[in-house]
């Protein structure tokens, strides 16, 4: 497979094995993860595999190295969510903590994950525009980028590592993706999203994410450099979170919607 960024005309170093999802993020799951929705699986099939198997040669070494800083940002975002879930589940006291996240890199990491998973699933060719955004040759279009859903109402929180639902536009193109990351709902959009469901709202490029339990709060401060971040997403955990879950807690699932 040739490098997905070949049209940038600066490939180098030969092909390089790259994880569909950052290895630093997958390591939060342990040694294995349950996956579904990939091209090599039957519809509806779920498979437990080692995290070292979730790789493909989709990037040259030069482009792989350029994107490696994004992997750390994915871990910096997801690790506090796992810590929050574990403490809220009664494994430790729920303490006040503040974490720092680079919003620009987080947004690009989501795009990197989406490109990797769509390549692995062979479901959709990656548009050149996405590649140019990913390698910071152009910005996201106006209104496009990261949205985090807030005020979802009462809901059970299960710590699934990653769920990706590709969202189709009016012409059948992939217009973005819904991400379930660490139990939170995010959207990466390639245009201003319109929600048909009543009461569904999202915060565009929020400056903070707060998760409350009792008197204490975990807060992720999200800084933005290339873009303007504003607003806050605030979620509250009521009662105990059950660790009982039908299957592994670490799941990678790709769905087309």
Sign of torsion, CA 212 217 220 221? positive
**pLDDT tens readout for residues 26-56:** 666 556 566 666 666 677 777 776 666 666 6
For residues 185-194, average pLDDT: 78
The domain of 244 spans 15-256
d(CA 193, CA 169): 10
Structural domain includes residue 6: no
Average pLDDT, the chain: 75
The whole-number pLDDT of residue 106 equals 93
Structural domain includes residue 118: yes
Q: pTM for the whole thing?
A: 0.81
Structural domain includes residue 195: yes
Starting at the edge strand that comes first in sequence, how are the strands of the sheet with 208-213 ordered? 97-102, 216-223, 208-213, 232-237
**pLDDT tens readout for residues 141-175:** 888 899 887 655 544 454 555 566 666 666 666 77
What b/e sequence results for 17-26 when a residue is b if at least 16 CB atoms lie within 10 Å of its CB, and e otherwise? ebbbbbebbb
Residues paired with 188 in a beta bridge: 146, 177
More confident residue, 62 or 161: 62
d(CA 54, CA 25): 12
d(CA 254, CA 163): 6
Structural domain includes residue 207: yes
Structural domain includes residue 83: yes
How far, in Å, are 75, 92, 185 from residue 70 at the CA level?
Answer: 9, 29, 20
* pLDDT > 50? residue 212: yes
Highest mean pLDDT among 64-68, 208-212, 221-225: 221-225
Q: Based on the structure, what is the number of domains in the chain?
A: 1
* pLDDT > 80? residue 21: no
* pLDDT > 70? residue 123: no
């Amino acid at each position: 497979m040739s490098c997905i960024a070949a049209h940038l005309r600066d490939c180098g170093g030969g092909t390089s094995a790259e994880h569909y999802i950052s290895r630093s993020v997958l390591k939060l799951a342990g040694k294995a993860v349950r996956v579904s929705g990939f091209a090599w699986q039957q519809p509806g099939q779920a498979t437990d595999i080692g995290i070292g198997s979730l790789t493909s040669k989709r990037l040259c070494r030069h482009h792989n190295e350029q994107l490696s800083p994004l992997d750390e940002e994915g871990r910096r975002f997801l690790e506090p969510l796992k810590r929050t879930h574990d403490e809220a589940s009664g494994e430790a006291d729920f303490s006040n903590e503040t974490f720092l996240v680079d919003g620009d890199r987080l947004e690009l990491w989501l795009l990197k994950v989406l490109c990797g998973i769509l390549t692995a699933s062979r479901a959709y060719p990656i548009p050149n525009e996405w590649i140019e955004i990913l390698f910071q040759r152009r910005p996201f279009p106006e209104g496009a980028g990261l949205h985090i859903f807030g005020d979802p109402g009462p809901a059970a929180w299960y710590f699934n590592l990653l769920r990706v639902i590709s969202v189709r536009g009016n012409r059948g193109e992939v217009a973005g993706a819904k991400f379930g990351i660490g139990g939170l709902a995010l959207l990466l959009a390639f245009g201003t999203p319109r929600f048909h469901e009543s009461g569904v709202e999202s915060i565009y490029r929020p400056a903070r994410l707060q998760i409350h339990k009792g008197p204490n709060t975990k807060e992720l401060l999200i800084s933005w450099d290339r873009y303007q971040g504003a607003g806050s997403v605030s979620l509250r955990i009521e009662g105990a979170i059950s660790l009982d879950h039908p299957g592994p807690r670490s799941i990678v699932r790709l769905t087309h919607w």
